[in-house]
Every structure is written in structure tokens, then in C-alpha cells.
Amino acid sequence: MTVQPFHLAIPVLDLEKCRIFYRDILQCEEGRSDTHWVDFNFFGHQLVIHQKEVFVPGKGITNPVDGHDVPVPHFGVVLSWDDWTTLSERLKSLGTNFIIEPTIRFKGKVGEQATMFFNDPENNALEFKAFKDMNQLFAK
């Protein structure tokens, strides 16, 4: 199966603050842009931030998963184990305020994975995860 890039557009209040976050902190290459939106190469996928003057992010919605309260909604990508480790170390060194610290979820079980959650500047929740065995991605 060939994986096609997804497209996700999210609202933001402060376009420049979010532009800096996605470009400089997450190191996503900036693509096309206009005065009210910016495209990013989000790890091979297309993420667009759209500036909206009126926007109230959701708050306080979570779902319990393996002992953690996972924010819903959230988005992110599955990275290689090495890329996840590099990103988590860089984010820790930058003093990132994690919702869920970098950890191993489902240890010793089907679907064991490295995961971490944090917010962008507009409180959109992001999850980055990795599997040592990518065959476990959709395993039951």
C-alpha cells in the first residue's frame, strides 16, 4: 500500500507566532502563503494554518489511553524511531511544555510505541509517535 500525503487545515489566531513554531521549532518547510494562511510540509504531509479573527480552541476534552489523559482532538505523524528520538530530545532541550512527556506506551504489548503530546501556540494538541516495528501500526 502506498501512503498518500494527507491535507489538514487548522485555524489560528496569531499567524506569525504559529508560523515560527511550525517552521523553526518543528522544522517544517514553509510552502505557499498569503496574508492569512501558510502551507507547511508537515513531515511529508500538507498542513495549512489559517488565521481567523474569531476562534475559540476546544479545551478539556480527553480520552484515557494506557494511563494517560489523551487530548481530543489531536493530530501528528508517525516518525521513524530515530527521528522520534531526535525530535523528543530537541523539544526537551527547548523546554517544551509536554501534555504527555515522551514515553513508551503499551510496553510489551501489541502496538508498543513511543509517543509524546504537546500544544502548538494556539493550543492545538499534537502527537508524535514511533514504532520499532512498523508492522505494529495497525496491529490488533
CATH number of the domain where residue 80 is located: 3.10.180.10
Residue 126 and residue 96 in one domain:
yes
- The C-alpha atoms of residue 71 and residue 127 are separated, in whole angstroms, by 9
pLDDT of amino acid 140: 79
Same domain, 26 and 69: no
State pTM to two decimals.
0.86
- Indicate if 34 and 84 belong to the same structural domain: no
User: Is 19 a member of any domain?
Assistant: yes
36: domain range? 7-51
Strands 45-51 and 7-12 come out as: parallel
> Mapping DSSP to helix (H, G, I), strand (E, B) and coil, where does residue 46 land?
strand
Q: Give Cα 103 distance to the centre of its chain.
A: 15
Cell numbers for 16, please give them. 506569525
> Do 72 and 43 belong to one domain?
no
Residues 70, 120, single domain; the answer is yes
- 74 and 123 in a common domain: yes
Q: What is the full per-residue pLDDT of the chain (140 aa) written as tens digits?
A: 678 899 999 888 899 999 999 999 999 999 999 899 999 999 999 999 998 877 666 556 777 788 888 887 899 999 999 999 999 999 999 999 999 999 999 999 988 999 999 999 998 999 999 998 888 888 87
